[in-house]
Homo-oligomer: A and B are copies of this chain.
Amino acid sequence: MLTLRHLAIDTLRENVAFLSRRCTRYRVDDFLGMGRVEVRGQGRSVLAVLNLVEDPAILGPDEVGLSLAAAHQLGLPDGAAVEVEHPTPPASFDLVRAKAAGATLAPDELAAVIRDIAGQRYSKIEIAAFLIACAAFMTTEEVLGLTRAMIDAGRRLEWDLAPVVDKHCIGGIPGNRTSMIVVPIVAAHGLPIPKTSSRAITSPAGTADTMEVLANVDVSVERMQALVREVKGCLVWGGHVNLSPADDVLIAVERPLSVDTREQLVASILSKKAAAGSSHLVIDIPVGPTAKVRSANEAVRLRKLFEYVGDQLGLVLDVAITDGAQPVGRGIGPVLEARDVMAVLRRRPDAPADLRARALHLAGRILEFDPAVRGGAGAARAAELLDGGAALATMERIIAGQGPPPARAALGTLVHEVTAPKDGVVSAIDCYRIARVARLAGAPLDKGAGIDLLRKVGEPVRRGEPVYRIHANTGADFAFAKAYAEAGGGVLVNGEGARA
């Protein structure tokens, strides 16, 4: 037997086992062919990718190390006696190979694959194989089967309410923080909308990051349920609930590979929403030259797939195809986006009109799920709730119910203005590049970092006038963001990039 060592190494969702090159018990070369081992002890086991350690200060010859997540999965204490074996790869991987060779998988076959993925029995190369095999070709029945399998692999929230409404945007548009306006409007109307959101991973802010400027978002499922009973809405981080865990595993490989197919997108979103217990759902698909979806044709194909799978799952689904030509609102980054959201809710004259209009449109479509709201009357009802102050009052109750934010966040005090290279009109804003500047400035972890857009597409500007401001709190972030902005291209004035 070897002695188990918990190594304090986070291998980012890949189980890794470490053996000494001079292992006293096993001929480690014999494991190299597969590059993977199974670590066993006390009737428990974990599959892990193998690394070999040549430094006895890191690992001794009579020890086996496990990365943090692998050790957690095995569940045995540091110092436990364990054995290392040739791995038995998950049987479901035969189905992935069949899929790669062109087969169509039945629902129970997809369920077997997804159970093993959610159970962390696939290595990252196996997950990549599954994703690419699916990217080549999937029937709509397979997308449905995949979505169902992903729902079933995790927890499912139950609500003793009906309908339970929700909204989701497929993302990609900076500043598009409509949820924080839509939720209080819809809740003020009386429709239950228990919104769980993610933190940003590659964007400058997720709804959870921005809401955290105003309130605590790290809320238990029980507290969330109580809040929805009292106020009809909440805006919390979804990380506490084990909703569609396979989705998180798949995304961790999908993202670095940048393979985001329509099929995976639909399965990912609808599995999370169905697991969250929603019965009625509005999906926002922004279309624009630098958005995720770049043509009306593409948007329609995506919409049809959402509708097909949603209908089969018994969700009432309304897909909104919206303008994704440029960022929404003025602020990009948690503090700046929270400022825009509150300006809209407080009906301030300087509130971004585009953010308000989008939120009213989406809220209106949700309100029309209410049989008492006439078709076409949703947006007017939404405006009534916003302009009458009911939405703001509801937002204040939600904030009070969730409690104060963990830390006070203030706008970054290092400020740099990017200016117009000539007189003209802002001709384009690149969503990707602007998001990257905000991210380099420190958003979302540094909540006060980000970008304040001073001119939007179509607005006139004179040479030397600022088109956006960079906010940061640390010198290093500030320098990275300025250097990237200097390379230009985020905002074009008559086709020419604004620079420092």
B9 touches A18 (CB 8 A): yes
A456 at the interface (CB under 8 A from B): no
Please encode chain A, from 148 to 179, with 1 for each CB lying within 8 Å of some chain B CB and 0 for all others. Answer: 00000000000000000000000000000000
A9 touches B52 (CB 8 A): yes
Q: How far is the CB of A250 from chain B (nearest CB, A)?
A: 12
A100-B259 in contact given A8-B53, A12-B52 (Cβ < 8 Å): yes
What size tier do the contact residues of chain A reach?
35 or more
A201-B136 in contact given A9-B18, A9-B52, A27-B445 (Cβ < 8 Å): no
A54 at the interface (CB under 8 A from B): yes
A81 at the interface (CB under 8 A from B): no
| A34 surroundings in chain B (CB, below 8 A) | 202, 255-256
A9 touches B257 (CB 8 A): no
B35 touches A256 (CB 8 A): yes
A202-B58 in contact given A10-B21, A136-B100 (Cβ < 8 Å): no
- A29-77 at interface with B (beta carbon < 8 Å): 29-30, 32-36, 49-55, 57-58, 67-68
Query: Which of the residues B35, B101, B132, B136 comes within 8 Å of A252, measured between beta carbons?
Result: B35
Please encode chain A, from 121 to 140, with 1 for each CB lying within 8 Å of some chain B CB and 0 for all others. Answer: 00111111101110111000
**Nearest CB in chain B to that of A254: its residue:** B125
In the docked arrangement, what's the CA distance between A256 and B52, Å?
17
In the docked arrangement, what's the CA distance between A33 and B442, Å?
14
Q: How far is the CB of A226 from chain B (nearest CB, A)?
A: 31
B97 touches A54 (CB 8 A): no
In the docked arrangement, what's the CA distance between A234 and B58, Å?
43
In the docked arrangement, what's the CA distance between A36 and B257, Å?
11
Q: How far is the CB of A82 from chain B (nearest CB, A)?
A: 16
B126 touches A257 (CB 8 A): yes
A253 at the interface (CB under 8 A from B): yes
Query: Which of the residues B10, B18, B202 comes within 8 Å of A52, measured between beta carbons?
Result: B10
A223 at the interface (CB under 8 A from B): no
- A294-322 at interface with B (beta carbon < 8 Å): none
A477 at the interface (CB under 8 A from B): yes
- A243-296 at interface with B (beta carbon < 8 Å): 252-253, 255-259
Query: Which of the residues B11, B52, B256, B477 comes within 8 Å of A125, measured between beta carbons?
Result: B256
A100 touches B132 (CB 8 A): yes
In the docked arrangement, what's the CA distance between A305 and B89, Å?
30
**Nearest CB in chain B to that of A443: its residue:** B30
Query: Which of the residues B8, B49, B55, B201 comes within 8 Å of A9, measured between beta carbons?
Result: B55
A interface, CB within 8 angstroms of B: 7-12, 16, 18, 21, 25, 27, 29-30, 32-36, 49-55, 57-58, 67-68, 89, 93, 97, 100-102, 123-129, 131-133, 135-137, 201-202, 252-253, 255-259, 439, 442, 445-446, 476-477
Going nearest first, the 8 A-B pairs with the smallest beta carbon separation are A8-B55, A8-B54, A33-B202, A128-B128, A125-B128, A132-B132, A10-B52, A33-B201
Question: Can you spell out 5 A-B residue pairs with CB atoms less than 8 angstroms apart?
Answer: A9-B54, A25-B476, A30-B445, A33-B255, A54-B68
Additional 17 contacts, C-beta under 8 A, given A27-B445, A32-B201: A8-B55, A10-B53, A11-B51, A16-B51, A33-B255, A35-B252, A35-B255, A97-B257, A100-B135, A101-B136, A102-B136, A102-B137, A125-B257, A128-B128, A128-B132, A132-B132, A133-B136
